[in-house]
Structure 1
Amino acid sequence: MERMGVTETFAGISLPGHLHTQESLSFATTFQFRPTDVLIATYPKSGTTWMQEILTLMFSHGDVLPAKTIPNWERAPWLEQIYFRDALQDTAARRLITTHLPARVLAPALQQSKAKVIYVARNPKDVVVSFYHFHHLAKFLPDPGSFDTFLTRFLEGTVHYGSWFDHVKGWLGQRQHLDIFYVTYEELHQRLGAFLGCPLGPETLRALEEHCSFVAMRDNTMANYSLIPSEIMDHSQGRFMRKGVVGDWRDHFSPLQNALFNRLYQEEMGDSDLQTMSQRQTSGD
């Protein structure tokens, strides 16, 4: 497959060349957002697919047909990826767009618009575990090595897509400049209704509860990436929707790794608004 072993470097971070080119990345920085656009921004493995499914159901007022017949990368295409312009439904009244790019790359374009941004964060210990397993599945990502090696690179911010700490703090820092809604993976999705101006009626809520459960998403071919050829994702290595549980990191971290992570987290996030909210989530208690 094309550019499978290529790494693109853009704005100081490494990205898989199979999905990105310098041209597609540059296009993302100058994209003309509309006031009606909704941008999902996440660090990898932080609940992106979950949010794509929730918003699909909200925008369709509970009609599950789009979510069951259209792949999520077409319903909410990735702004920085090479296929974006072909996938974007440009005539849609409300365009749903997804990105893993850091705020410093997209903020200038977003600040010129009134587009809404939904930022999803997840306990970074669960993120690194999920990202590690995803590296075994995705052939366009480098060999992660041992978990200890990968964890070290994650803490250094040298993995693909850069530093989790910089990503979260960067988007948090835009809250005074953008129309942004910040939510954690561990929180409920019902708060989105007021932010998006989409009152959730009983039928919509029922559809959200049924379709957006982990089991339903895991078995939905439009969301679980099972349609991706095995040359790109080695499905024998596991599922894209692996567990979706909170606290899975406890089965992977040694006491020493946990202590190291906690110390660096305090150093990086101690002064941020996320510290109080996430202190219990990232602790070993």
Structure 2
Amino acid sequence: MAEDFKHSFKTDRRGELSLLVYNVGFQKCPPGYGWGPGVRDHYLLHYVLSGQGTYETEGRTFVLHSGEAFLARPDVPIFYRADEVNPWEYYWVGFSGPAAPLLLAQTPFTAARPVLRPAAGDHLRQGLLDIYKARGSDYPAAVRMAGYLQAALGLLMAEGPCRGEEALSRYARQGADFLQRNYSRNVGVEETARTCGVSRSCLYRAFQAEFRCSPSDYLTRFRIQRACQLLCHSTLSVSAVAVSAGFADPFYFSRAFRREVGCSPSAYRTQKTGGAESPDNKEDPV
């Protein structure tokens, strides 16, 4: 068995580029060597050159062999470990920046598909090695490493099923589905973005492109639609309708309803049902 080795580089540079390499290297792991369980604050791409190991994320376990790659996303719990008998040798790069989720959205990697076997595996390995060779802590080195990283991701884009606008549309629809299924609880943009496997800014751009509104506005509008249904087809009080539709604050609900529909919730109920406003339902806070 070949002797274990590790060659790596790490920088503390943050936030100066739209795509920024945090760490890069290659390693022949000793048997059973692993990392986690834990989370990273950046994306982490591994390409397995030889041997095998396991990668665990979100309740799933993948056994990886030579020629396969796995992607870890920020703030998603992961654990990976080299095989006891045939430990893997891999190349890796950790990176972040506003451009990272948009570039990854054009590759075959998704939150549901964190492992793949790239057709251009050897070229990907060379690309990761090029990042390592360009390493350095100054600004020019950061630019060079980002350039090689973009080229490496471009290899994956060439075999990805989703590109450009199609990728943004997919993330927007995935986010919208999540919001529709969770509208009644205190769900936020951060949780939605994490579920979709993208950053907040990427999710915002996706919603703007697909729905011409922000994720927060989309959620509010969906909640208002649900409130309209309840006002027309239930005997719940206005306050109960607000809570049922996901509005914890009845004053905010009334203001949002007026802004979206053009009248108060109780007036809307009267108009749609054709009846007089009952004392129980005439509860508009503002």
Q: Which has the higher contact order (CA 8 A, sep 6+)?
A: 1
Larger radius of gyration: 2
Superposition TM-score tier, normalisation by shorter sequence:
under 0.3
**More strand as a share of residues:** 2
